[in-house]
Amino acid sequence: MTELKRFSFFILYGIIAVVLESTLLSDIPSSNIHFDFILYAIISLALLEDQRGVIFIVFALGILMDTVSSAPFGLAVFSYLIIYGFISMIVSRILIEAWIARFVWVGVASLLEKLIVGTLLFISYGSSPVIDYLLITAPFQAGFDALLGLILVPFLIKYSDITWDKIFKPKKTYFKKIIIL
């Protein structure tokens, strides 16, 4: 049941993220640097202790991103699976709770994604101005992703197991007190 709640949470997050990234926030903060909300979800999934069913969520988030991307279909799936595998393999060796470590590792994951995408585009199309542009802006994008990751990664890890009952159920029931009086 936990896997279904987590899957639902991250798919809902992914849909909202893709809609925001491709419409309202597509040129914010600039046309060169953009929000990459799905990357934070992938990093958060790799850092979860319970890994059951997580690979399917990563795959689904990649498909969501591929559906709106102008890049070849499957590029996001492939890059997200590589990033998930990379973070999962080293998670026992890294410290992620400290804010500086979270900043560094989100930046590294962002650079890794740009490197994977740039390499696959180079293999597919050869040299292109888009690839050069992608690699030139990658350090700035990684810094931006790392800053936003300080907030979003802990948020996604904390709320990945939330249920509708916890959202809509009041903390205290006042009706019991009225009935007893």
CATH number at residue 89: 1.10.1760
CA distance linking residue 62 with residue 25, whole number of Å? 19
Per the model's pLDDT, the better-predicted residue between 12 and 72 turns out to be 12
pLDDT number for residue 28: 72
DSSP 11-64: HHHHHHHHHHHHTTTTTSB-SSSB--HHHHHHHHHHH-S--TTHHHHHHHHHHH
Count of structural domains, the chain: 1
Q: Which is more confidently placed, 170 or 52?
A: 52
Domain extent for 27? 2-180
* 170 has a pLDDT exceeding 80: no
pLDDT band (50, 70, 90) for residue 142: confident
Cα separation, 68 vs 152, in Å, equals: 22
pTM above the 0.85 mark?
no
For 68, residues 6+ apart whose C-beta sits below 8 A from its C-beta are: 18, 21, 22
Measured in whole angstroms, the distance separating CA 141 from the mean position of its chain's CA atoms is: 14
The yes-or-no verdict on residue 147 having pLDDT over 80 is yes
DSSP 8-class letter at 173: -
CA-based R_g, the chain, Å: 19
Per-residue confidence (pLDDT) for residue 90, from 0 to 100: 78
Choose between 153 and 175: higher pLDDT: 153
Amino acid at 55: I
Residues in a beta bridge with 146? none
> For residues 46 and 55, is the Cβ–Cβ distance under 8 A?
no
Mean pLDDT confidence for 100-107:
81
Residue 120 pLDDT exceeds 60? yes
Residue 56 CB coordination number (10 Å):
12
